[in-house]
Amino acid sequence: MKKFITGSLIAALINFILGLILLLVGISTGGLRMIGNGVMSAVEGVGNFLNVEFSDFSIGVEEWNVDYPIYPSGEAFGAVSANEVDDLQVIVFAGNFEVERSHNNTYYVESDLPFQCYSENGALYIAGGLEGVVGDVTLYVPEDTLDKVTIMLAAGNFETNTKLESREMELQIAGGNLEMSDLEAEYLEISSAAGNLEVENVTVSSGEIHCMMGNVYMDGSVLSSLTTDCVMGNVYLDLPDETVVYQCDPDNIMGNIVIGVEVHPEADVLLDLRTVMGNIEVQSK
């Protein structure tokens, strides 16, 4: 049995390494479809050990209408009223992307590099760092609760300086650094292929964290359940409410799981923790 597991793990890691090659090539060329293929190839084998599929991790272009105009450097995308936006989707290829508070109840974008932005059927789409051009893009958002927020980071830096509220929130990072704070969502899904992802002051009812490589840090409150899968990276969970008791279901092959919170088999809040070779640490401040 051990020989079978070892042999399968080696085969999985070969797929993992080949996937990483595609991933890095995809990032360097700005090819979103290649990045998605690299991520999927990398996790295809090792995901079987976690009994989890990373099929939702796809930085794709199928829903991205590339025929819309690209705004040149120094121009701004006109304001869109808050009541016209239910879905926010952001893709960052390179450069720096920041989210700030808008004070006129509208969404609008300012940038010193070419970017793409359009609004359609209640959704606002924004792409920064086109063709690998490095610069700054700033998105201004009103105080609003959205149905869904999707952030996809291929490379570069993404940072929020204001609160974001959404019923569903999805954060995907293939590389670079993503820092967000003051998030509130009924459901939060984090997928990290590489790079660093940090979210602070988060309140979620339920969520999932899929970490292939890199580092994922989450500081916040989980009201119902959180599933965490870690292949080779590091996941750190800071759950500040010391009065909450958790039901933990840890499963590790070669990695480490450290649980520093109070647990009980019949607790209301479930933490499902699984790792192959990575590290998962849960603590209460």
**β pairing state of 269-275 and 246-252:** parallel
Report the relative pairing of strands 145-153 and 106-111 from DSSP bridges: unpaired
Domain boundaries, the chain: 2-50, 70-283
CA distances from 195 to 27, 37, 176, 216 (A): 12, 17, 5, 9
Q: Which residue, among 244, 223, 239, has the nearest Cα to 280 in the 3D structure?
A: 239
What is the sign of the dihedral through the CA atoms of 113, 118, 119 and 125?
Answer: negative
Domain 70-283: which CATH class? mainly beta
Q: Which residues of 69-91 are buried (b: 16+ CB within 10 A; e: fewer)?
A: eebeeeeebebbebeebbbbbbb
d(CA 60, CA 112): 25
175 CA to centre of own chain: 10
Q: What is the pLDDT along the chain (285 residues), one digit of tens a residue?
A: 433 343 444 445 445 544 554 444 444 444 444 444 444 454 444 444 444 444 444 444 334 445 556 766 555 677 889 999 999 999 888 888 999 999 889 998 888 877 888 888 899 988 887 766 677 889 999 998 999 999 988 888 999 989 999 999 999 888 889 999 999 999 999 988 888 989 999 999 999 998 888 899 999 999 999 999 888 889 999 998 778 999 998 988 888 999 999 999 999 999 999 988 889 999 987
For residues 275 and 95, what is the distance between their CA atoms, to the nearest angstrom?
32
CB of 230 closer than 8 Å to CB of 211: yes
